[in-house]
Amino acid sequence: MIGRRLALSAALLPLLPTAPLRAQMRYPVNPVTLITHSSPGGGSDVFLRELIKHLQPVMGVSFAVENVRGGSGATAVARVARSAPNGGTFYATTPTYIQTSYLSRPEVRWDGLDPMAIVFLDPEVIYTRSQSSFRTLKEAMDAAKANPGRQRWGAANPASLERIAMERLNRLTGARAAVVSHEGGADLMVGVLNGTYDVGIGEIQEVKAQLEAGRIRLLGVLTESRLPEFPDLPTAKEQGLDLVVTKFRGLAGPKGIPDDIAAMWEQALRTVLASPAYRDVYTKEALVPVMLGREQARRFTAQAAEDIGAALREMGVIR
Amino acid sequence: MDHIASALGGWTVPAAFAGCLWGIFGGALPGISPSIAMALLLPFTYGMEPVTAIVLLASVYVGAEYGGSIPAILIRTPGTNASAATTIDGYEMARQGKAGEALGISLVSGLVGGLFGLAVLVLATEPLAEVALAFTPMAYFSLAILGLSVIASLSGGSLLKGVIAACLGLLVATIGSDPVSGVPRFTFGSPDLLGGVRPILIMVGLFAVSEMLVQIGEPAWGKAEKRDTRLKLPSFGMQRRLFRAQAIGCGIGTFEGVTPGAGGTVAAFMAYNEAKRWSKQPEEFGKGSPEGVAAPESANNVVTATALVPLLSLGIPGSNSAAILLGGFLIHGLQPGPMLFEKAPEVVAGLYWGLLLANIAMLLLGLVILTPALWLVNRPKPYLIAAILALVLSGVFAIEQSFFDVGIVLTAGVVGYLLRLAGVPTLPLVLGVVLGFMVESNYRRSLVISFGDHWVFLQDPVSLILLSLAALLTAWSLWREFGRKT
């Protein structure tokens, strides 16, 4: 019932001025349903709804976003895995669906879906409050190294990539800092602002409000290269810390989708990512476009799953 | 004056009324929490003007927190978590044939709370944001302990049974991912339990389902029984009597709303407890005291405004509902936080006016809706019970399209029925479920921060104050409830 209502509202989105329709084979299914486990207004939901505004004119079909919640993503994954492999249904992937596969026994695991594309990486930053004496990540880590077992670092959810990153940082530096996990980013931000934590970790989007107000300072970004939006912010690697977090956003479908459909998606996504209107939107949110097609996305996802599994085992979360 | 005209122009007024109406229905339907009622509307706001969208969502919140009290009074089934405390005296009044009066008190108290909260939001956002920022995990732990300290007065006579119920609730709250390590606990491999059991499901089971089971076992309502089917707003004299309870509700609601955490539910329970403590007729509490309806209902409506303090001033959502509202802001390219007041002052002003309108709408819509609602619950019992059960269960199913959730509700219903047969009060259980995660996660975070040293709870100044307060209030309540009898 609710799903129907959401689908309807998405279909009624005003069509944007149309980009030239590509002279190619027509997409065989209309409308296409994109499923997310996130609630309306949540991360993947906003990502999809923005994406379809730009994708609609390029692919020449309508899209419906459906929020299938419950089971930490397992319900949505199972739903997509059971759908017909005709290109009509996709799931918006994030590392969550891999984590859920490790943390419980869902009906369909992450490898029950076939990755179709990896579109963006969400850059993670390490930050501190503006009253802090630390100017760079290196300064903070040097201080932590000099006084092992004294610093306190904040991260979001306990089984998240952010916590994994902070535990890795602990091992890289030997700081023996206390890594405190939270329920989402809000409590964590309060803890950094009131000085409970020396540093915190989060997505740019989560820390933007405080950054604009000058209440926090970014110390380093955990990507391979600097972000165009923040050219003065050095990466952790530049500061001598081999730490990169790959939090991805992509699409996956049921197994057995024909190759020509995959090719059409890859081409459409590349066109959309290159369009100035969409680029404005995603650079503002500091999303890093990567665009991996089906073959690469499969390898990427398998590697990500292996890394997450290894990290969860190392932290003792799973056996 | 110009900005008043611009704020009230366009779609603001219809948005406030429509949002409030939707909220009252959502809130009144057990299983639809305020945040779910808001989430259902969120996709419809994508194409709206930012001010209209924000006002619509905030009005849903206002309406839903009020709407929850309607079934709490009429059928002893709170529509929202925050109206659980209202069942105690609200339903008692309804049983005495004073349902119309109880609904009137709840409506007026909600209005008083909503307007007070709005005034606080407009006038004191800056200083109150600093209060929110002073909260460490230690302080959150102590705040949750303070919330648990009201168990004694919810136990209805037997402290032992009250504590047993609260412990059951705390146990339920341990299901799900471990808050510190992330290890799944008591999930039996099921992904449905990874996120824990949502308190609203327990609530619906414990109240709605078990109440229906109890009702089935009782004879049909006698035709001759005199039941007041007219809505009755509190008279001037009554309003004077309620003033103290409403003031207590406003004070506690302000504090609980500003500090992100359990919010309206704990505010309502604590307001009930304190209203009883400071009342001139404390012996009436639990036996249909009007003050027992006024205090929690003003408290949870204060929260609808003050919960926006950390969201607007810091960009930090303090509750699920505030998180949905944050989504509403983000979709329109607005980033709540310190810069919002400079970048989009018209949205903030529009939101303030919208909240005022929503509260007025709540009063007007309440006056229209309550009389049919009173008529409705006086229909023949078999029809009523069947309809309520069908409505509640389909509502629970619809939200996540999950039979698992329906199973939880039915299980909680049977457990609640058995507990009632055993004379175990269910309100402490609800409190345990609501606060369990907050107690445990912050206790363990604090110990990670202190590297295992328990003194940290007394070294943190806010935590020390809250713990002392909890100790004082608990001792006082225990003495009042149980000490004087022996």
Three-state SS at B90: helix
Range of the domain at B124: 2-485
ipTM of predicted assembly, 2 dp: 0.84
pLDDT surpasses 80 at A185:
no
Asked if residue A177 lies in contact with residue A197, where contact means CB atoms within 8 angstroms, the answer is: no
Question: Minimal Cα–Cα distance from B323 to chain A, Å?
Answer: 9
H or E, element range at B478: helix B461-478
**Residue B441: closest C-alpha in chain A:** A182
Q: How much is the pTM?
A: 0.85
**Exposed / middle / buried, residue A306 (Cβ in 10 Å: 0-12, 13-18, 19+):** exposed
Closest to B310 measured CA to CA, from B135, B57, B65, B52: B135
Q: Which of residues 416-455 of B touch A (CB under 8 A)?
A: 437, 441, 445, 448-449, 451
Q: Compute the average pLDDT of residues A149-172.
A: 89
Q: Which of B132, B181, B401 sits opposite A190 (nearest CB)?
A: B132
Q: B312 at the A interface (CB within 8 A)?
A: no
Contacts of B157 (CB under 8 A, 6+ apart): none
Q: Which chain A residues contact residue B40 at CB under 8 A?
A: 2, 5
Q: What pLDDT shows up at residue B179?
A: 84
How many C-beta atoms surround the C-beta of residue B485 within 10 A?
6
Q: What pLDDT shows up at residue A206?
A: 82
Q: Which amino acid is at B66?
A: Y
Asked if residue B53 lies in contact with residue B328, where contact means CB atoms within 8 angstroms, the answer is: yes
Percent of chain B as helix, strand, coil, to the nearest 5: 75, 0, 25
How far apart are alpha carbons A103 and B334 in whole angstroms? Answer: 35
Q: Which amino acid is at A122?
A: D
Q: Compute the average pLDDT of residues A111-135.
A: 94
pLDDT surpasses 90 at A187:
no
Q: Please identify every stretch of chain B with a pLDDT value under 50, giving residue numbers as ranges.
A: 1, 223-224, 486
How far apart are alpha carbons B105 and B99 in whole angstroms? Answer: 10
Three-state SS at A240: coil
Asked if residue B259 lies in contact with residue B143, where contact means CB atoms within 8 angstroms, the answer is: yes
pLDDT surpasses 90 at A261:
yes
Q: What average pLDDT is seen over chain A?
A: 87
Q: Domains in chain A, start-ordered, CATH in brackets?
A: 2-121+247-314 (3.40.190.150), 123-239 (3.40.190.10)
Cβ distance B398 to A1 less than 8 Å, yes or no, reads yes
**Residue A215: closest C-alpha in chain B:** B338
Render pLDDT for A65-115 as a digit per residue (tens, 0 to 9).
988 877 778 889 998 999 999 999 999 999 989 988 888 888 889 999 999
> Pairing mode, if any, of strands A63-67 and A32-36?
parallel
In DSSP notation, B340-409 reads HHHH-HHHHHHHHHHHHHHHHHHHHHHHHHHHHHHHHHTS-HHHHHHHHHHHHHHHHHHHHT-HHHHHHH
Q: What pLDDT shows up at residue A22?
A: 46
CA dihedral over B296, B203, A72, B332, signed as positive or negative: negative
Cβ distance B449 to A41 less than 8 Å, yes or no, reads no
Q: Compute the average pLDDT of residues A179-206.
A: 88
Question: Bridge-partner residues for A120, per DSSP?
Answer: A249, A289
Q: What pLDDT shows up at residue A270?
A: 95
Q: Which of residues 71-130 of B touch A (CB under 8 A)?
A: none
Q: List C-alpha distances in Å: A190 to A259, B315, B379.
A: 48, 10, 51
How far apart are alpha carbons A171 and A141 in whole angstroms? Answer: 11
Question: Bridge-partner residues for A91, per DSSP?
Answer: A35, A252
Q: How many domains does chain B have?
A: 1
Tokens of A260: 């020509």
Cβ distance A196 to B451 less than 8 Å, yes or no, reads no
Cβ distance B338 to A191 less than 8 Å, yes or no, reads no
> Pairing mode, if any, of strands A114-122 and B184-185?
unpaired
Contacts of B477 (CB under 8 A, 6+ apart): B149, B150, B152, B153, B273, B277
**Exposed / middle / buried, residue B148 (Cβ in 10 Å: 0-12, 13-18, 19+):** buried
- The four Cα atoms B324, A188, A282, B315 give a dihedral, to 10 degrees, of 50
Q: What pLDDT shows up at residue A6?
A: 41
Interface size A-B, in CB pairs within 8 Å, comes to 175
